[in-house]
Structure 1
Amino acid sequence: MPKAYVFTRYSGPEAEALVDVDRPNPGPGQVLVAVRAAGVNPVDWKQRTGYRRAGESGGHDFPAYFGSEVSGVVEEAGEGVEGFALGDAVFGRPVVGGYSEYALLSVDLIAHKPDALSFTDAATLPVSAVTAYDGIRQLDLPAGATVLVTGAGGGVGVAAVQIARALGLRVVGLASEAKQDFIASLGAEHVASGPGWTGRVPGGVDGVYDLVGGDVLEEAATLLTDRTKLITAGAPPEVVEKLGGARVARVRTSDRLTAVADLVVRGDLDPHVTRTFPLERAGEALRTVEEGHARGKIVIEVAR
């Protein structure tokens, strides 16, 4: 039987397990994908704790799959599927599956993987890179303007910095002192996080893309004269709206996936996969992200 890394209840890491699961069957408009790689994101461990944002759907059926971005090869197509055939290399957001050997994907949430894009890099795009792309595009800053990215050293932050640079923006990246050289290598001006960080921001700021929330979001808001240029993926809508900003508006389409894949192929975006783990060590991959030790992107690779 296929294997998947799941959580069996809302709890801590003790609720996680690698288990045998039934091979999913694609329904209308779906494809079954043999997973080659799965991206690891903070939302994965947050879902295990029972976290969900207001207005989003409720609880999981257990055991519940980890993972919300995968790449792989189409093994079976459901009724009415057009444009995707057996053997096609694809990437996208799974309906069922994630840290698993097989996943079901809806055809409106997947895209063809370019030959020049590895399965590992493709698995970083559906959540992290698209979230970064959506936020930077939503700010709609003109070339030459300055954007501050908080949490610039994480998976979304690394992509946001590069996408902003590709659009001609000056980027200031807030991250730990240990990530100074890394942030500079992305083309951003590094500001060390910690008490008093706003006083260390060089020059003015025209927009903020927050990926941290909490006090950092509130402090970042003070740097702006136009609070409509405050976007967050790190806090709930009601929190940022009180500050005059907005939650990032996600665009979940195949066209969006293709757009970020093209950025990678052109060399404008490096997913910066810093560590990979086999499926059997998915728990270690998740701990790396949950404990805040990740720099760049962590990916689970599924052997074939």
Structure 2
Amino acid sequence: MPKAYVFTRYGGPETETLVEVDRPRPGPGQVLVAVRAAGVNPVDWKLRTGFRRPGETAEPVFPTVLGSEVSGVVEETGEGVTGFAAGDEVFGNTAAGGYAEYTLLPAALTAHKPAGLSHTDAATLPVAAATAYDGVRQLDLPAGATLLVTGAGGGVGSAAVQIARALGLRVVGVASEAKKDFVEALGAVHVPSGPDWAERVRAAAPDGVDGVYDLVGGEVLADAAALLTDRTRLITAGAPPQEVESLGGSRVERARTAAVLAAVADLVVDGTLDPHVTQTFPLARAGEALRTVEEGHARGKVVIEVAI
């Protein structure tokens, strides 16, 4: 039977385990994919703790397979699916968890993987890179403007920095001192996180910042908002809607389309965007992969590679 890495109830890492599961069957509008790689994201462990995405009301069914993004090969298509066939290499957002040998993808959130893109890199795009892409487009800052990115050393942050730089923006990236070289290599001005970080941003950008892409939330989001004169240029993927709206900003508006997936894949193929996969783990060590992200030690992206 196929294997999958799941959590059996809400809680901490103690709820996680590798189990054997039935091979999924695609329903209408779905494709069954043999997973080759799965991206690891902060939302994965947050969902394990009981976090609900905005607007989500469905009751959980345990065990729940972890993971939100994969790349793999189509095994079977469900009723009404067009444009995909068995053997196609694809990537996309999962409908049934991605830390697994097989998973289901909604066809509407699935794109063909370009030949020049590895499965490992493709698996990083549906959540992190697509979120970065949507947010930078939402801000719509003109070339030459200054964008502040909090959490610039993570998967979404590093992609946002690169996309913004490609659009001609000056980027100030807030991240830990340990990620200084990484953030600067992306093309951003690095500002160390921690107490008084906002004052350090003011020193690094004496003319002010024109937009904020927050990936942290909490006090960091509030301090970042104070750096703006136009709060409509404040967006977050790190805080709930009510938190950012109280400050005059908004959540990142996710397009969630195959067209966006294709667009970010093209950015990787043409060299504009480097997913910066810094660590890979086999499925048997999925827990270690998730701990790396959960404990905040990851630079760039962590990927689980699934053996053929």
SS in 1 for 2:38: strand
* 1:159 corresponds to: 159
Please say if 1:223 is aligned against 2:218. Answer: no
**CA separation in 2, counterparts of 1:144 and 1:97?**
40
* 1:81 corresponds to: 81
Following superposition, the deviation at residue 121 of structure 1 comes to 0.3
Aligned residue type for 1:183: V
**CA separation in 2, counterparts of 1:57 and 1:166?**
38
Aligned residue type for 1:295: R
Following superposition, the deviation at residue 178 of structure 1 comes to 1.0
SS in 1 for 2:92: strand
* 1:125 corresponds to: 125
* 2:265 corresponds to: 261
* 1:172 corresponds to: 172
Q: TM-score, normalised by structure 2?
A: 0.97
**CA separation in 2, counterparts of 1:152 and 1:97?**
26
User: Quick one: which of 235, 243, 252 aligns to 1:239?
Assistant: 243
Following superposition, the deviation at residue 233 of structure 1 comes to 0.4
SS in 1 for 2:23: coil
* 2:282 corresponds to: 278
Q: Render the CA deviation track for 1:22-60: whole Å, top value 9, x for unaligned.
A: 001111221110000000000101111111145322431
Which stretch of structure 1 is more off in the superposition, 199-208 or 275-284? 199-208
**CA separation in 2, counterparts of 1:53 and 1:280?**
27
Q: Which runs of 5 or more structure 1 residues have no equivalent in the other structure? A: none
**CA separation in 1, counterparts of 2:136 and 2:49?**
29
Q: Render the CA deviation track for 1:104-163: whole Å, top value 9, x for unaligned.
A: 111101000000000000000000000001111110100110000000000100100001
**CA separation in 1, counterparts of 2:59 and 2:12?**
16
Does structure 2 retain, via aligned residues, the 8 Å contact 1:52–1:58? no
Does structure 2 retain, via aligned residues, the 8 Å contact 1:50–1:59? no
Q: Render the CA deviation track for 1:75-128: whole Å, top value 9, x for unaligned.
A: 111122211111000000111131000011111010000000000000000000
Does structure 2 retain, via aligned residues, the 8 Å contact 1:71–1:119? yes
* 1:12 corresponds to: 12
**CA separation in 1, counterparts of 2:80 and 2:48?**
34
Counting aligned pairs with the same residue, the percent is: 77
SS in 1 for 2:107: strand
**CA separation in 2, counterparts of 1:53 and 1:226?**
27
Please say if 1:108 is aligned against 2:105. Answer: no
* 1:200 corresponds to: 200
* 1:138 corresponds to: 138
**CA separation in 2, counterparts of 1:78 and 1:221?**
46
SS in 1 for 2:95: strand
* 1:92 corresponds to: 92
* 2:303 corresponds to: 299
SS in 1 for 2:298: coil
**CA separation in 1, counterparts of 2:87 and 2:282?**
22
* 2:190 corresponds to: 190
* 2:44 corresponds to: 44
Does structure 2 retain, via aligned residues, the 8 Å contact 1:214–1:235? yes
Aligned residue type for 1:140: D
**CA separation in 2, counterparts of 1:97 and 1:176?**
30
Q: Render the CA deviation track for 1:56-82: whole Å, top value 9, x for unaligned.
A: 224310000100000000011112221
Aligned residue type for 2:287: G
Does structure 2 retain, via aligned residues, the 8 Å contact 1:151–1:211? yes
Q: Render the CA deviation track for 1:205-247: whole Å, top value 9, x for unaligned.
A: 0000000001100001111010000000010110111111001
Aligned residue type for 1:208: V
Number of equivalenced pairs: 304
Q: Render the CA deviation track for 1:185-204: whole Å, top value 9, x for unaligned.
A: 00000000111111111121
| CA 1:85–1:53: 2 relative to 1, 3 Å | closer
